[in-house]
Structure 1
Amino acid sequence: MDFSSINWLAVVIAAVSAFVVGGLWYGPIFGKAWMAEMGYSEDDLKDANMVKIYGTAFVLEFIIALQLALFLNHGDTSPSIGQGAAYGFHIGFFFIALSMGVNALFSRTSLKLWFINGFYFVVLLTLMGVILTAM
């Protein structure tokens, strides 16, 4: 792996974008539906260790952004913003969302929960692809 071509600022911004997308996705867009599908109430979420959850989530999302940057920077040419979006979308949809769909089938969770959780990553990785190729 060649880390010399990594734009570290872009990786950090891409990782932070996960919090922006997640805040919207699991907040005003799908928050109530996600809580209902998970069987959570507002009180259930208040008891969570948010420092641990957000801190670990940021580390994991940073690693995701870094690996996507390494993937996008592999080879002799730099991908365009459109290619970055397309690669992010394809990884998000064909690898992550569909894998989560298989898990949802076997764990017998709802189609709605699969959509909410799986397509968060489609949107997120598409945005990360744009950020990483735009900077």
Structure 2
Amino acid sequence: MSRIIVIKRTHLVLAALALLLILSSLLYLNRERIIPTLAEPTALRTFHMVTGEFKSTTSDGKTIEAYRWDPGTIVVNKGEKVKLSIYGVNGESHPFLIEGLNISGEVKKGKETVITFTPEQEGIYRLICMTHPDIAHGGPMIGYIVVD
């Protein structure tokens, strides 16, 4: 390898190390201004969800559709106060239940449904739409609440 290539490669490595040193110094100096994105476990944390729909036509002309919660999975801490704000976008009505939490309700098109709860046990809880529980009924419209 020629000496010029070695010198250029050495300069490139030194420049990358200098840039890394500058960036880490800036992060260190600005650490008080960094705002954490996770809420404190004792605070009420709000999750915004919507009802959504996928619709398509098969090659033989049949219309198929599937409904879903979006986001489909949320992760919360055990003992954390949680607020679900669910807005009905697609589908007229989505009566639901959250298995294991004894919570039920209904989301209607154009309306917001708000639920608050504090999960006391770790696990995965299913948010199930009773109108769309399986493929035969445009589902399964199931969301997951993961409690750590």
**TM-score, length-scaled by structure 1:** 0.28
For the pair shown, the structure with the greater C-alpha radius of gyration is 2
> Which structure shows the higher strand fraction?
2
